[in-house]
Structure 1
Amino acid sequence: MDVTEDAVRDVCTNAVFERGERYLSEGCIHEIHRVDTTVTAVVSGSRQYDVRVDLATDGFAPWCDCPYDGPGACKHVVAVLLRCVDDPPPDEGDRLDAELDGADADELRAFLRDELATDADLRDRFLARVGEPTRQSVDELRTAIDRRFEETNPEYHVVFEPIDFTQWFALANEYREQGRYASAATVYRALVESLDDNMERVDGAYDHFSRAFSRALDGYVDCVVTTERDADAVTDAVAFLEERVTSGTRFLAEHFEKAAVDLREKADEQSCE
């Protein structure tokens, strides 16, 4: 997958592009790896920042755990993308495939079993992949998400830097791909509730948290509508959204109100089919 300088310029401001160029020229990129179209790297700045981009996605789906809150991608992401323009890292996907093809089935099973025993995130996604509905409630899931807010800046009640919600979005997406929309809706709702209740703690990276909230809310509405045309699920979801209009974060009220309207309209459209 070729990455062009023009494509990189499209995802950032001119000033950020220049800073990204400087970071690249100063050798600030470390531990860069590519598997298929996903590139991960560590970029040195005021501290070490983790960066992830997808070269096959429009806009590159950038992620960085720096506190940048301006328009477009940050300088750390731009530096990594420019590295992919000038000197793309080798794709390690073929090597992984070769090792998997040659691996002993029993050893591979034992390795996976050990990893599943110690990695709760991987275990959840594995169970979702093999068709296991979620056994976690909204409250249990959001407790884990809330903990991420608390751990980000434990000494203060504010959050300055982005939080990586990838594990929950990946879990929801896994359920969707398996057609388990009720389980996906449970994950999305946990994200919506946690983001709404913690949004007033956010004092930086506003765009990041707003995008995460919108993505979770849209996913929740879509999955509720698709849940086997369950009228009770729609009714409960609308009630939840309408309650959040008045009880949730003030500047998110219009998003909840619009989501409730959209949910009713989509449900009505399906009932007429």
Structure 2
Amino acid sequence: MDVTEDTVRDVCTDAVFERGERYLAESRIHEIHRVDSTVTAVLSGSRQYDVRVDLATDGFAPWCDCPYDGPGACKHVVAVLLRCVDDPPPDEGDQLDAALNGADADELRAFLRDVLATDADLRARFLARVGEPTSQSADELRASIDRRFEETNPKYHVVFDPIDFTQWFDLANKYREQGRHASAATVYRALVESLDDNMERVDGAYDHFSRAFSRALDGYVDCAATAVRDADAVTDAVAFLEERATSGTPFLAEHFEKAAVDLRERADESSCDSCVAFDDAHKFEDHEN
């Protein structure tokens, strides 16, 4: 997608566009890098904010960890995009490719193994990428997500700014692409539990956290309904949702109740379809005999 003033205006309001112009003029961008079409940057405001955009995607797929919760992109994203209009950062992709191509295979493998050995989240993403099921339980994944809440505002219990849950949603999506719906359901369940337990400490960016919760809950139901193959598994998944409806955040109870009903109905439909297929197969065998 071409980066022009007009395409930048398309992803934000007029007021935000003007603020983004001001941020760019004030040299608020302290660090900016580009690899292929992905641009990452660090900007200063009331604190430092991380920004990511994809210049090849319609709408630029903007992401920023600031608390902006209005329509369209925030002023930090706009400032970065406008910088790309006037003075795009050099593409570091060729340098990265050259380094990878020139690296000794054993040294590269040793480096990668050392990194993966000390970073459980990255290890889970790597294993998913190469087609391995998740080795982390829902509790382990949830602990990583909970840490994000603690790190966002370590001095206070309240969370004001949005949290980037992309790595966990990407992990779940990768498992879904591979048909590993049970592994995806584990990731979604960890997200649901962490968001449910931490939702009452959220004091800002409500839409951001609500969307993340709804996305995780819908993903869990979809994957659980696809992955379950026996009555006990269905019962356990429904029981989890019903337990959350009574013990979790009160204003989320209705969402859990609806999800439990939806999962039960979808499991019943799947069971009926399996019975029909089984009966049809036996009728065919009887006819053949």
Under TM normalisation by the shorter chain, which class is it? 0.7 to 0.9
How far apart, in 1, do the equivalents of 2:132 and 2:55 lie? Answer: 31
How is 1:151-170 mapped onto 2 (pairs within 5 angstroms)? 151-170=151-170
Q: CA deviation at 1:174?
A: 2.9
Give the TM-score normalised by the residue count of structure 2. Answer: 0.83
Aligned to 2:127: 127
1:201 lines up with 2:201 in the alignment: yes
Q: State how many pairs are aligned.
A: 273
How far apart, in 1, do the equivalents of 2:90 and 2:270 lie? Answer: 47
Q: CA deviation at 1:43?
A: 0.9
Contact 1:157 1:201 in 2 (8 A): yes
Q: CA deviation at 1:173?
A: 2.6
Output the amino acid matched with 1:136: Q
Aligned to 2:42: 42
Q: CA deviation at 1:254?
A: 3.4
1:227 lines up with 2:230 in the alignment: no
Aligned to 1:257: 257
Output the amino acid matched with 1:216: A
How far apart, in 2, do the equivalents of 1:94 and 1:243 lie? Answer: 52
Structure 2: runs of 5+ lacking an equivalent: 275-289
* Deviation per residue, 1:61-110 (Å, 9 max, x gap): 32222222333322111111222333332332233223322322112112
How is 1:13-92 mapped onto 2 (pairs within 5 angstroms)? 13-92=13-92
Deviates more, 1:254-263 or 1:183-192: 254-263
Output the amino acid matched with 1:108: L
How far apart, in 2, do the equivalents of 1:72 and 1:254 lie? Answer: 29
Q: CA deviation at 1:193?
A: 0.7
Aligned to 2:147: 147
Structure 1: runs of 5+ lacking an equivalent: none
Aligned to 1:190: 190
Identity of aligned residues (%): 89
Aligned to 2:2: 2
Structure showing greater radius of gyration is 2
3-state DSSP of counterpart to 1:156: coil
Measured at CA, do residues 97 and 201 of structure 1 come closer, stay the same or move farther in structure 2, by a change above 3 Å? Answer: same
Q: CA deviation at 1:58?
A: 4.2
Contact 1:229 1:270 in 2 (8 A): no
Deviates more, 1:71-80 or 1:8-17: 8-17
Output the amino acid matched with 2:247: S
Contact 2:176 2:184 in 1 (8 A): yes
* Deviation per residue, 1:124-150 (Å, 9 max, x gap): 212222333223221222122222212
Output the amino acid matched with 2:146: D
Deviates more, 1:99-108 or 1:260-269: 260-269
Contact 1:129 1:178 in 2 (8 A): no
3-state DSSP of counterpart to 1:46: coil
Measured at CA, do residues 52 and 147 of structure 1 come closer, stay the same or move farther in structure 2, by a change above 3 Å? Answer: same
3-state DSSP of counterpart to 1:191: helix
How far apart, in 2, do the equivalents of 1:135 and 1:6 lie? Answer: 46
Contact 2:121 2:144 in 1 (8 A): no
Aligned-residue CA RMSD in angstroms? 2.4
3-state DSSP of counterpart to 2:132: coil
3-state DSSP of counterpart to 2:260: helix
Measured at CA, do residues 17 and 129 of structure 1 come closer, stay the same or move farther in structure 2, by a change above 3 Å? Answer: same
How far apart, in 2, do the equivalents of 1:263 and 1:88 lie? Answer: 48
Give the TM-score normalised by the residue count of structure 1. Answer: 0.88
3-state DSSP of counterpart to 1:133: coil
Measured at CA, do residues 229 and 97 of structure 1 come closer, stay the same or move farther in structure 2, by a change above 3 Å? Answer: farther
Aligned to 2:110: 110
